[in-house]
Amino acid sequence: MANADSGCAALVESARTSPNGAPYEFVYVPVDRSWVAHHRGIFQSDFPEGPGPFGIHATAAQHYSDRMSGQQPFTVTDPDQIALHVSPDGTATLENLRWNTSDNYAMRCQGRMMISDTPSALVIIAMR
């Protein structure tokens, strides 16, 4: 994994110290565009009372996942649960709790957006 963007620290800290959490949207598209996933949630602090630097985390239902071929592995009434963690250095860890899979992405920050365009996927976290 490439190094994450140290410029993400300010965005993570801003989300971490938000009194009501920080809403976000997440989009994942693999390089072969065989499917796309989307979910939204609210980031909370890893340690709200601490002085930091700490990361942010969220657990959310995956609202949308579309595959070009094959079976849809879940239904609207039974979505995948996604855990997302972003460390102060901009490393995002995405864990699918249903399928017990985990991936790390080195994010770079532009405004309120975190972006990772690896050889295997495009990952976008948009802070609202």
How high is the pLDDT of residue 68?
A: 47
Class of 8-127 in CATH: mainly beta
Q: Domain coordinates of the chain in residue numbers? A: 8-127
- Ramachandran angles phi, psi of 46, nearest 5°: -65, -30
> Which residues have a Cβ under 8 Å from the Cβ of 111 and sit 6 or more positions away?
none
Long-range Cβ contact pairs of 37-42 (< 8 A, separation 24 or more) = 37/62, 37/64, 37/65, 38/62, 38/63, 38/64, 38/65, 39/63, 39/64, 39/82, 41/82, 41/84
How high is the pLDDT of residue 66?
A: 53
| CB-based contact 102:1 (threshold 8 Å) | no
Per-residue pLDDT of the chain (128 residues; tens, 9 = 90+): 456 666 788 899 889 888 888 999 999 888 887 777 888 889 998 765 655 567 888 888 775 555 544 555 555 566 778 889 999 888 999 888 878 889 999 999 999 999 998 888 899 999 98
What pTM did the predictor assign?
0.80
How high is the pLDDT of residue 125?
A: 94
